[in-house]
Chains A and B, each alone.
Chain A
């Protein structure tokens, strides 16, 4: 694993290397190096299985993070290759020529995050959402609770009760009242 990390560092300028376990490592590469990096891992290092391809929304950094999780069957190790792309114009190179299974992941990410993969077959077809007109629902700026309340006729009378608060009210009613009163006054000020 150590030699592999050294090779990736020299070839693809891999940064933020984090050894999660002794057989599992996270690396971060530039967007332009990513296709070469996963191709190198597949063809020369034996990481032939694409376990997972997913996206994360870092709205405060104005970036999307893409995670390519690869597995090696011969020595049972995993490498997770990450890259950051711009959130304003999210486009990424498609890797469907390396793994045919990546088509499904890319289609799903296109629908749920709005990241485009030009050249991937049927990437614009609806996956689970038919006739979706809003912004992609897995983005952080999409308010799913507000959308659900406006769209899906919520049944009135639904309330939640925190376990701690309920037990306090049952067992120590006076103390709970005093504590909540103090908390409310402090919050008001």
Chain B
């Protein structure tokens, strides 16, 4: 969609925020029911985790043995999916640069409710070894809501499996409310995202 103007050697970007092409409605909070049906939903959601196969950093190397024969995550009923529309678990694997954060936000907002996020590695907690980098974010929870952190540099696949167990426990207790939190504090998350991403050329909420 980008046209290169050879005279000035510069990319002309089209208008991504055209309301005819994108739905501009903001996310809505879905209230919990607090009855036995909600408990059944929580149990069902905890046992139906489909993770988005999107490696943001070095941690994506640890996710390959996790999918395949060595650690075989599908024995726990968890499997990778190629697109955000079909998945509800997003693993931010390792450091997040500003360029990647833009893609992470787009992917996260395209995922369907209820959606969960696991931050893998120390870089998502406080920046890890890239804490003073000019291009790597320090705290992931300022940009998208995070359910479970797995600390380490890099955590082994066993640690990530323990993180899945923790996430299942949280969802069964009714605490996997990341999507509602995102809708509730939408203005705060958006302000933080726009502070970092200087050339914002996306719609405010893209789904």
Contact = CB atoms under 8 A, between A and B. Distances in A.
B180 interface: no
Given A152-B127, A154-B127, A137 B199 contact: no
Main secondary structure of the interface of A (DSSP, over half): loop
B134 A144 contact: yes
Nearest to A142: B134
A125 interface: yes
Interface in B41-68: none
B142 A153 contact: yes
A76 interface: no
Nearest to A149: B132
Contacts of A122: 4, 9
Contact of B134 (A137, A153, A154, A158): A137
A151 B195 contact: yes
Interface stretch (B76-84, B94-102, B156-164): B94-102
B188 to A, nearest CB: 12
Interface string A107-151: 000000000000001111100111111100100001011011101
Nearest to B143: A153
B17 interface: no
A155 B138 CA distance: 7
Contact of B131 (A121, A131, A151, A154): A154
A145 B99 contact: no
Q: Closest 6 A-B residue pairs measured CB to CB?
A: A131-B199, A131-B198, A155-B126, A145-B132, A152-B138, A137-B134
24 contacts: A124-B10, A125-B10, A128-B99, A130-B98, A130-B198, A130-B199, A131-B197, A131-B199, A133-B198, A137-B135, A142-B134, A144-B133, A148-B127, A149-B132, A151-B196, A152-B127, A152-B138, A152-B139, A152-B196, A153-B139, A153-B192, A154-B126, A155-B138, A158-B131
